[in-house]
Chain A
């Protein structure tokens, strides 16, 4: 059984650029959630995807967008990057959509915006 894998692990961008982060969910999981974790803070919910549709969204602006593919993998896209977007972006998969209690996290993508 493979776990959640994310890519890239680290990346550096400049303000105004766009970034795409990728996530492959754990085998058997059909739901993917994305979280942003700033330094010294707990993860903050960005959004969740279930059956290729957004299934809930946190307090993030529209320049944060996502996709889920038929194989349940997912992408997080962030446009017009700002310095405050520097964070660890965590993808988590689960098997029961909104009913899931346990999330399996990937190792994260660490984004630095200069």
Chain B
């Protein structure tokens, strides 16, 4: 089983739509959680961290459910510029060779059309 599972999509939505991405993680000892954004043929960039109480950054809202080992990202009022791949990322509190490493999901592709 993969450490982080994501629906690869693609999600195709019109401008102004609300879209939600989900991911699950397998290691209950996971320590930190993030969403990264990756534009086509570019490097991943941090979109936002995900906190236990949930957090919001403008049109983006992230939620974490530790009991269900589930992470979500909600994008409201989608813009054309939101078109990208969204990567769910988990940092596990491991030992030895796994200490500090990040585990990436395969990413969910979003296309926002006019």
Interface residues of B (CB under 8 A from A): 4, 6, 8, 32, 34, 42-46, 49, 87, 91, 96-107
Contacts and interface: CB of A to CB of B under 8 A. Distances in A.
Contacts of B45: 105
Nearest to A57: B97
Interface residues of A, number: 25
Interface of A: 33, 35, 40-45, 48, 55-58, 90, 97-103, 105-108
A98 B99 contact: yes
A45 B101 CA distance: 7
A106 B6 CA distance: 24
A42 B87 contact: yes
A48 B43 contact: no
Nearest to A94: B100
A40 B102 contact: no
Contacts of A40: 8, 106
